[in-house]
Amino acid sequence: MAQVKQDLSISMAQANAAGLFMGLLPTLPFMLAYGLIWGGDHFFAGFDQFFGRFWLFLLVFLVGIVIHEALHGLTWMIAGRKPLSAMKFGVQWKVLTPYAHSTEPMPAWAYRLGTIMPGLVLGFLPLLIGLIGGSGWVFFVGVVFTLAAGGDFLILWLIRRVDRQALIEDHPTRAGCYVLLDAPAADDPN
């Protein structure tokens, strides 16, 4: 049976702009909670600890980006049962956007898991650890990488109505994917 592709993607530039908003939404409640629990002075001290040492911040950010993309690929390989050869990594220099891309289709549930994993591991986990322990430095690592996962949250929003078993093919150049659907038979009036 022939298949058609339903395009559920947006340009990388659109994903960067909308992704910032999508990353900010889950971050704001954590920031409010941190300020309420630990106080404003502690909040700003943590901010200074993280962003005040520029070279350390830059190193953490660059290593975090590599880990972010590796988590996408590794999770897609494990959950989607794909070989390393099916993963492509790179940077779209025009919009300064790193990417991980699976060249083979996988079930939507596996695609979703690989899409959310960096936001969970690098974003929400440090947010929670920093919030519970009062570590401003760890907390702001979580803030930065939750914001960085905003484009991933946007993709999850784009595919929110896709059945978990539907086959998803990662879009090769845009943020998002194709959903592979069976084409109706030629004699099917629908």
- Tell me what pLDDT residue 188 has: 57
Distance from C-alpha of 32 to C-alpha of 51, rounded to nearest angstrom: 19
Q: How high does pLDDT run on average in the chain?
A: 92
How many other CB atoms are found less than 10 A from the CB of residue 42?
Answer: 16
Distance from C-alpha of 21 to C-alpha of 7, rounded to nearest angstrom: 22
Beta-strand pair 175-182/167-170: antiparallel
- Domain, as residue range, for 140: 3-182
Residue 61 lies in a domain: yes
69-97 as b/e: b if 16+ CB within 10 A: bebbbbbbbebbebeeebbeeeebeeeeb
Residue 128 lies in a domain: yes
Residue 57 lies in a domain: yes
Poorest-pLDDT segment among 122-131, 155-164, 168-177, 181-190: 181-190
> Per the confidence metrics, is the pTM higher than 0.85?
yes
Residue 189 lies in a domain: no
Residue 188 lies in a domain: no
Task: Look at 51 and 26; give whichever has higher pLDDT.
Answer: 26
| Residue range 133-180, pLDDT digits in tens | 999 999 999 999 999 999 999 999 999 999 999 999 999 888 999 999
Residue 187 lies in a domain: no
Q: At what angle do helices 54-79 and 136-148 cross, to 10 degrees?
A: 50
| Residue range 53-72, pLDDT digits in tens | 888 889 999 999 999 999 99
* Number of independent structural domains in the chain: 1
User: How far are the Cα atoms of 63, 68, 84, 115, 177 from residue 89, in angstroms, in the given order?
Assistant: 14, 11, 11, 14, 16
Residue 190 lies in a domain: no
Task: Look at 84 and 44; give whichever has higher pLDDT.
Answer: 84
